[in-house]
Amino acid sequence: MSTFLLDTSVIIDALNNKRDRAALLLGLVESGHLLDCCPINITEVYAGMRPNEAVATGEFLASLRYIPIEPEAARLAGELKREHARKGITLNLGDAIIAAAAIHNELTLLTDNIRDFPMKGLSVYPLPRDRKAARIDGLVW
């Protein structure tokens, strides 16, 4: 059993029935895996939500385990952003916080935006951006 922190793009795709993400997430849960979200996910999802999507969005987010951003994770996010900036790499603040939350909580980040997460020490499970079959712990979708 694994615990995955979902990238916001995966949550949005599941909510919008794109790329078979809802089926993937359901399959993971049925296989005993845990799915987490954090405050940044919630903020990003609600920032782009249309009014008629409020109920479904709220229900979906409530089905995920919630992990708070601890002060240590917040500090790590700032350090990641600063260290990458020194190398000429601009990280989105939200992505840095999501990555830091995954690192701090020893979670695997489930994302299809692998380029957004170049951080060392981050466990990432990259998803295909299209509907090509992929496998996670024996689950194929």
pLDDT tens readout for residues 32-46: 999 999 999 999 999
The residues, ordered by sequence, that sit 6+ positions from 41 with a Cβ below 8 Å of its Cβ are 6, 7, 8, 11, 61, 98
Residue range 96-103: mean pLDDT, rounded: 98
Confidence label for 16 from pLDDT (cuts 50, 70 and 90): very high
Confidence label for 141 from pLDDT (cuts 50, 70 and 90): very low
Confidence label for 61 from pLDDT (cuts 50, 70 and 90): very high
Range of the domain at 132: 3-140
Higher pLDDT among residues 4 and 134, named by residue: 4
In the chain, the N- to C-terminal Cα span, in Å, equals 18
CATH number at residue 131: 3.40.50.1010
Provide the domain count of the chain.
1
